[in-house]
Amino acid sequence: MSPDYDKEKVEVLEAELECLQKENEALGLMFETMSRKYIMLHQAYLRQKSNKRQRLEVPDAAGSKASQVFVKTDPRDQSLIVKDGFQWIKYGQKVTKDNPSPRAYFKCFMAPGCPVKKKVQRCVEDKSIVVATYEGQHNHDVDSTAAGKSMLASCSSAIFSGSRSIPFPPLDNPFPPPITLDLTLSGSDLQNHRNLPSFMHDYSTSNDDGNNKKKKIEDYVASLTKDPNFTLALAAAVARSIKTEHPKPSPP
DNA sequence: CGACTTTGACCGGCGC
DNA sequence: GCGCCGGTCAAAGTCG
């Protein structure tokens, strides 16, 4: 066991820890957005109940092929672009009656003949949330081009500068877009690192010497490796990473 | 100059 | 049948 080997091992473990930390944050954001979605669905339901004559889009109605995605964006950003790993061409925009924000219409053009369309519109209640409605099913896989790869990279690198975006995959989509999150930490985020494992706090803030740090890392790694949940999560992350680096070749 | 976006016109479905 | 509304088309505009 050479010091170099130890150092390398520590670096690898640190990278894995960082990856898991990001995944944890991603799950937290997903939960937050799910909560928002539930509230909006509940409000839509109440509105429809109180006014049956009003035409209202009910997302994910049973048997419907459409599915909705809620994406948190910067309200100042007027573009209705939802990065979900597919390539879309905008073919129209309309202001609808029930929402002053314009609705944009997109077609998937990653593959010829792909029937998938999506509508993108800002939420009435919360302008920072963009609602993307997907219709149809992709007849191709997510692109393996650089753009596609950058969309797929979720753990190995921080993606998407600017606002956070959390596109939820359409439930009936055979090739659901990857969960994409902006994991770059803004200043406030950095200040809010309360949910860091205590070890990470210690490691980043303490003035311990190298030996103490190393000891703490080893302790923490030992406790993690005993945790079956951690093992499972790590296996999933590694599998996902491999899948991302070697995307399935698209059929000719 | 090609790719992409914008925007007004047009079309079809639906309710009255 | 008429008008409203959402969805689509295609020409014009914009940008790199």
Measured to protein CB atoms, the chain B nucleotides within 7 Å are 4-9, 16
Q: Which residues have a Cβ under 8 Å from the Cβ of A149 and sit 6 or more positions away?
A: A244, A247
Lowest-pLDDT choice from A123-132, A155-164, A229-238, A241-250 = A155-164
Q: Which residue among A113, A142, A171 closes a domain? A: A142
Q: Which residue among A142, A164, A181 closes a domain? A: A142
Residue A222's pLDDT band (boundaries 50, 70, 90)?
Answer: low
Distances (CA, A) of A107 to A116, A138, A149, A151: 6, 11, 20, 18
Q: Which residue among A142, A162, A183 closes a domain? A: A142
For the stretch A140-181, pLDDT in tens is 666 544 444 444 433 333 333 333 333 444 433 434 433 333
Is pLDDT of A59 > 60? no
Residue A119 burial (C-beta neighbours within 10 Å; 0-12, 13-18, 19+):
buried
Instruction: Give a yes or no: residue A222 inside a domain.
Output: no
Residue A133's pLDDT band (boundaries 50, 70, 90)?
Answer: confident
Instruction: Give a yes or no: residue A244 inside a domain.
Output: no
Q: Is A157 helix (H, G, I), strand (E, B) or coil?
A: coil
Q: Are residues A94 and A34 in the same domain?
A: no
Strongest mean pLDDT among A64-68, A88-92, A133-137, A217-221: A88-92
Residues 7-46 (A) near nucleic chain B, CB < 7 A: none
Residue A6's pLDDT band (boundaries 50, 70, 90)?
Answer: confident
Q: Are residues A44 and A2 in the same domain?
A: yes
Separation of A173 CA and C10 C1' (Å): 30
Instruction: Give a yes or no: residue A33 inside a domain.
Output: yes
For range A16-34, the mean pLDDT: 75
Instruction: Give a yes or no: residue A35 inside a domain.
Output: yes
- Tell me the percentage of chain A whose pLDDT exceeds 70: 34
Q: What is the pLDDT of residue A145?
A: 46
User: How many domains would you assign to chain A?
Assistant: 2
The H or E element spanning position A90 is: strand A88-95
Q: Are residues A78 and A114 in the same domain?
A: yes
Separation of A149 CA and B13 C1' (Å): 41
Q: Indicate which CATH number applies to the domain containing A73.
A: 2.20.25.80
Quote the pTM value: 0.48
Cα(A19)–Cα(A80) distance, integer angstroms: 30
For the stretch A7-19, pLDDT in tens is 888 888 888 888 7
Q: What is the pLDDT of residue A252?
A: 39
Q: In terms of residue numbers, what domain contains A43?
A: 1-54
Q: What is the pLDDT of residue A30?
A: 72
